[in-house]
Amino acid sequence: MLRLFPSMISSLMCKPRTFAALTMAVFAFNPVASADDWSAEEQAFIQELEQDYQIPRARTEALLRDASKSQEIIDAITRPWEARPWHEYYTIFLTERRLEAGIEFWNTHEETLNRAAATYGVAPEIIVAIMGVETFYGTIMGRHRVLDALYTLGFHYPPRQTFFRGELRQFIQLSEEENIPANEILGSYAGAMGFGQFISSSYRHYAVDFDGDGVRDLMGNVDDAIGSVANYFAEHRWQAGQPAAVPAWISENTPVAELTSGRGQTLTHTVGELHEQGVHFITALPDSTKARLFAFEEANGNFSYWVGLPNFYAITRYNHSPLYAMAVLQLSKQLREHRK
Q: Which residues contact 56 (CB under 8 A, 6 or more apart)?
A: 50
Overall residue count recorded for the chain in this entry:
340
Active site residue 134: yes
- For 46, phi then psi, to 5°, come to -60, -45
Q: What 3-state DSSP class applies to 250?
A: strand
Q: What is the DSSP letter of 193?
A: B
**If we measure between CA atoms, which residue out of 319, 320, 289 comes closest to residue 307?**
289
Distance between CA 337 and CA 103 in Å, rounded?
10
**If we measure between CA atoms, which residue out of 321, 146, 319 comes closest to residue 219?**
146
Catalytic residue among 61, 125, 134, 167: 134
Torsion angle of the four alpha carbons 294, 297, 303, 308, in this order, in degrees rounded to the nearest 10 = -20
Q: What is the DSSP letter of 295?
A: E
Distance between CA 31 and CA 65 in Å, rounded?
13
Q: To 10 degrees, what angle do helices 146-155 and 57-66 make?
A: 90
Distance between CA 198 and CA 93 in Å, rounded?
19
The C-alpha R_g of the chain, in whole angstroms, comes to 25
- Active-site residues, by number, are 134
